[in-house]
Structure 1
Amino acid sequence: MFLSSAFKGVFQVYFNDLALSFERGRSDFGFVGGVFLLVSGLASPMVGALSDRFGPIWTVLIGSVLGGGAFLLLGLLPHQYWLFVILYGLLAAFSLAAMTFVPMGILVDRLFDQRNKSFAYALITNGTAIGFIVLSPFWLWLQAHFEWQQVFFVVGLLFLGPLALLFWLGARVPLPAKESVGHIQEKRVGTWPVVLRDPGFYVLAFGFFGCGASMAFIDVHLVPLWRDAGVSRASMGMSLSLFGVLEMISGLAAGWLALRFSQHRLLAAFYVLRCLAMSLLLAPSGIVTTYVFAAVFGASYLGTVILTSAICLDRYGGAVKGQVFGMLFLVHQIGAFGSAQLGAYGYDRLGSYQATVMVLAMLTAIAGISSLFLSSVAFRRTQSEFN
C-alpha cells in the first residue's frame, strides 16, 4: 500500500509537466487520470475474483510486475500520447487495483478474526497515508530536479525487480485455509440477485461514488489547483505530509471506533467531514486554509473505505465479500473518472475548479445523509438470505 501510492503520486506531481511535454492541454491529461481511475475500478471485480481464487498475495505480485513494466516502458519509449494512455491509463491502473484495497481486504479476512478485521484493515491501508507523509514531499523534490521520464523509469525498475521478488517470496507462504469450496459455492448461489434486491447496497454504492469522486479530484487536480493559487512548493509538501498524518490517524481511529459504535453512523460522520473539507476549497487560498483543508480531508480519507469494507463484510459475508466489495469499488472509480473529467473540463471552460468543488461538496453531503438509513436490522436480514 505504501509503495503502490507511487503510481498516483508521480502522476499528480508531474501533471503539468506531462501536459507540456506532450504538448497537450490540461483536459487531455485529466482524461488520462480519469481513465486510470475508471480502469482501476473496472479491474476491481476481476481483482476480487483473482484474490478469492488464487490468493491476495499472488494478485499483488501480478500487479507489481505489470505496473513495473508499464512505468519502465513509459520512461523509455518516445512521447506518444495514446501510448501513455494505454500504459498508464490501462496497465498501471490494473496494477494499482491488484495491489491495494480489494486484495488487502481479502488478506485481512483470511488472517484475522471477525472482531479484529476492521482495525487490521485500517493498519494495512495506512500504507497509503505513509505514502502521503513520506513520498509526496519526495516526489515534489524530484520534480524540481529530474525529468518525469527518469522518475518513471526508476519506479518501474523498483516494482519489476526487488518488490516483485519480495511479493513472490510472500506468496509462497501458506495462508490460513478459507471456507471449503462446496460451502463457498453454496453461498454464492443467488448472490447477485440478493445483493441487487438490498437497498443498502445502493446506499453504499452512492456513498462510495461520492467518495471516489472527491478522492480523484484531490489525486488529479489538487496540486495544479494549489499551484494556480500561488501555494509554495514547501507549503504543498508540508500540507501533503499533514494530509498523510491525519489520514493515518483517522484510518486507525475508524478501525478502533468500528469495534465500539454503529458503523453506519460512523460512515455518515466521515462523509460529512469530507463535505466540510471540500467546502474549504471554496474559501480564499492562504497558508492557513491550505493546512486546515489538508487536515480535514486527511481525517476523512480512509474512514469511508474502511467502514464500507467492514459493512460489506457484515452484510454479505466473507465468501462473496471480494466480489461485492470489488463491485462497490468499481462504482467508486466511476465517480473518480467523472470527477477527474469534470475538473479538467470545468477548468478549461471556466478557468477555475469552483463549480466542480461545489458538486463534490453536495455529493458527499448527500452520501452522509443517506448512510444514516443503513441499519443493523437490514444487515441481519440480508445475511440470513446467504446462509
Structure 2
Amino acid sequence: MKKSGLILVILILVSHFKINAQNYNTNEYAFSQNEKLGRGVNIIGYDPIWNDFSKGRMKEKHFKLIKEAGFSNVRVKISPFRFSMDDAYTIDPKFFSTLDWIIKEALKNNLIPIVDFHEHGAMEKDPIGTKPMFLAMWKQIAEHCKDLPNEVLFEIANEPNMKPELWNEIHHEAYKIIRSSNPNRTLIIGTIYGNQINYLKDLELPENDRNIIVAIHYYSPIQFTHQGAPWSTKNKDLSGITWTNTEKEEQDVNRDFDVAQNWSKEHNRPLTLGEFGAYEKADMASRVRWTNYVARQAEARNWSWSYWQFDSDFIVYDIDKDQWNTPIKEALLPIEKKN
C-alpha cells in the first residue's frame, strides 16, 4: 500500500473511532440505552448469597426465567459497606466474586444489569461520615468493572436521603471517580429523599455529559402501597386501603408522572422508574390495578422501569414455591390477546 493510501486509511479509522466515542456522550445514546432497559425487576437485595454463595436463593435458572417472562433488565442491589476490610475501605474479594457471577448470569441471558449502590440507610444517618467509604468503594467497583460491556450500567446511589446541595456535591465527586475509569459507561443518577419526583428540580447534573439516565421511584399513595409494612412507621398499622382505578386515583398518578415528564423534556434527559410496587398487605386486586396502571403510564412516557422486587417482599416470584406470583407478573407484563 502506498504511503498516501495508508494515511487515508488511518484518517478514516481515527474519524470512525472519534465518531463512536462521541456517540457515547449524546442524548440519543442515553435514550437508546434507556429504551433497551425496558421492563425490569430488582434482584438479590436481601439474598444470603452475599455472605455465603452456597446459601444463595438466587440461582442461574432464575435469570433465565426472568428473561423468558419478558423482562429486559435487572437492577442489582449491592450493599458493599459491610464488606470493608480495613481503614482504606478495601472491599472483600468475595463481594466481587458474587457481583461478577450476577453480572455474568444477567448478560448471558441478555438482561441489562444495573449495579445499584444501595446504602441509603447508612448514608442518610451520616452522609458526611460515610462519604469517604462511598467514594473509595465506587473507585474500586468502577475499576473492577471497567472492561465490562456498555450493557452494564452504574447507579451512583439508591434513594440518597439528604439535602440537595449535599447530594449534588457527593454524586458529582463519585461521578468524577467513575468517569476516570469508565468514560463511556451509562450512569444513573437519582433524586433525593426516596428518589421522589418532586425533587427533580433540585438535581444538578454535569451539563456536558449526556450519557446519564435519571432515576425516580414511585410508591404513591404511600398509605396504600406501604400499608402494613413493618418498617414504615406511619403506615405499619394501616389496612384495608384499596386502589380501584377511580378517575381521581388515575389523575393523581398522571399528575405526578407529568411533572417528571415535563422535567425530562425540558432537560432532555431520559428517565427510569427504578422502583415501584405495593406491599403484600394490600388486597391483591388493588395491587394488580395499581401496578398495571403505573407500569403502563411509565411506558406511555417512554420510561424504562424496574419493579421492586423479585424476591423477599413485594415479590413477583416466589422462590420458596418456585413459581411466579402470577397476578403481579401479569400486571407488569400483560398477556397480549390474540385475534
TM-score norm. by structure 2 comes to 0.30
Higher percent of residues as strand: 2
**Which structure is larger by alpha-carbon Rg, 1 or 2?**
2
More helix by share: 1
